[in-house]
């Protein structure tokens, strides 16, 4: 496979402030590392890096370093391991370069490119690409720029999986064999589309939470409630009148005072 040269410079200081200064100068902070090697901090010209990323093989190409002032780095073969992009400006903030050995296999994601027009699409179906890149393992010199996937035989309701692919020699898939690559689905009518949109925008039904530990009161029919009531009502008891004290009798031979006064 073709190699792309990438110019790099050594940088002594690391951190947020030096990185900001490097970006203001039109460069991108970078770090080079590999198996059993000490990380080396570099800077890359942003224009050169963008040219590399804009090519089809930008993320999978072998990059040959051309270092200014350090002959030990020149000629090293690396891969773009990670590229950090600013979410608003879309400028490259940082790149990780991974040094590879020509006799040691590497794991890398390769773009999948669909080829052909499915028979299901000719019949009115819609082609959907579910997976756009695949993790494979191979030697650095065998890294392909892309993997072509023939979907011309797919009918409506049919899918293509990883197990159906034929890989170039020296390429081994690291993905699940049942992973779906592409499928052809039946078209959706305008009425079905409107119904799906209405269901998606409808407010969800609010369900009141049930209080845990609170027993629900049993609902008893009115007839059963009356039957369960006691047949005889208990009469209310009237309060009894207080008992009167007995009047003591006069001793024998002595008349009451009132009778004596009459005499």
Architecture category of domain 107-199 in CATH: Beta Complex (2.170)
What pLDDT does 48 receive?
Answer: 85
What pLDDT does 218 receive?
Answer: 46
Q: With the C-alpha atoms ordered 16, 22, 26, 29, is the resulting torsion angle positive or negative?
A: negative
Query: Cα(first)–Cα(last) distance of the chain, in Å?
Result: 158
Domain boundaries, the chain: 3-100, 107-199
What pLDDT does 193 receive?
Answer: 64
CB–CB of 72/109 below 8 Å?
A: no
What pLDDT does 67 receive?
Answer: 86
CB–CB of 34/1 below 8 Å?
A: no
Pick the CATH number of 3-100 from 2.40.50.140, 3.30.70.1350, 2.40.240.10, 2.60.40.3620: 2.40.240.10
What pLDDT does 191 receive?
Answer: 79
CA distance 104 to 137: 10
Residues in the chain with pLDDT < 70? 1-2, 55-58, 70, 193, 196, 202, 204-263
**What's the CA angle centered on 151, arms 149 and 155, to 5 degrees?**
160
CA distance 149 to 258: 138
CA distance 186 to 49: 43
CB–CB of 49/27 below 8 Å?
A: no
What pLDDT does 200 receive?
Answer: 75
CB–CB of 50/69 below 8 Å?
A: no
Q: Comparing C-alpha atoms, which of 156, 154, 101, 158 is closest to residue 125?
A: 156
CA distance 128 to 234: 82
Q: Comparing C-alpha atoms, which of 174, 153, 144 is closest to residue 162?
A: 174
What pLDDT does 189 receive?
Answer: 72
- Core vs surface per residue 105-132: b (16+ CB within 10 A) or e: ebebebebebeeebbbbeeebebeeeee
Q: Comparing C-alpha atoms, which of 147, 76, 64, 73 is closest to residue 108?
A: 147
| Token pair belonging to 242 | 């207080």
């Amino acid at each position: 496979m073709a190699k792309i040269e990438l110019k790099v410079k050594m940088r002594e200081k690391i951190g947020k402030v030096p990185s900001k200064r490097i970006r203001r100068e039109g460069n991108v902070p970078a770090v080079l590392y590999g198996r059993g090697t000490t990380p080396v901090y570099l800077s890359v010209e942003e224009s050169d890096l963008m040219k590399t990323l804009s090519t089809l093989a930008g993320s999978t190409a072998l990059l040959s370093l051309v270092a200014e002032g350090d002959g030990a780095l020149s000629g090293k073969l690396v891969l773009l391991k990670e590229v950090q992009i600013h979410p608003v400006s879309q400028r490259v903030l940082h790149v990780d370069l991974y040094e590879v050995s020509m006799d040691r296999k590497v794991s890398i994601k390769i773009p999948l490119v669909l080829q052909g027009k499915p028979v299901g699409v000719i019949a009115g179906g819609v082609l959907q690409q579910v997976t756009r890149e695949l993790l494979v393992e191979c030697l650095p010199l065998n890294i392909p720029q892309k993997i072509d996937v023939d979907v011309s035989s797919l009918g409506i309701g049919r899918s293509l999986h990883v197990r159906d692919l034929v890989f170039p020699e020296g390429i081994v898939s690291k993905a699940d064999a049942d992973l779906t690559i592409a499928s052809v689905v039946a078209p959706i009518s305008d009425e079905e589309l409107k119904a799906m949109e209405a269901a998606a925008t409808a407010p969800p039904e609010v369900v009141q939470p049930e209080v845990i530990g609170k027993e629900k009161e049993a609902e008893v029919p009115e007839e059963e409630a009356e039957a369960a009531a006691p047949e005889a009502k208990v009469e209310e008891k009237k309060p009894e009148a207080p008992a009167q004290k007995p009047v003591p009798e006069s001793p024998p031979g002595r008349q009451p005072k009132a009778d004596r006064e009459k005499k």
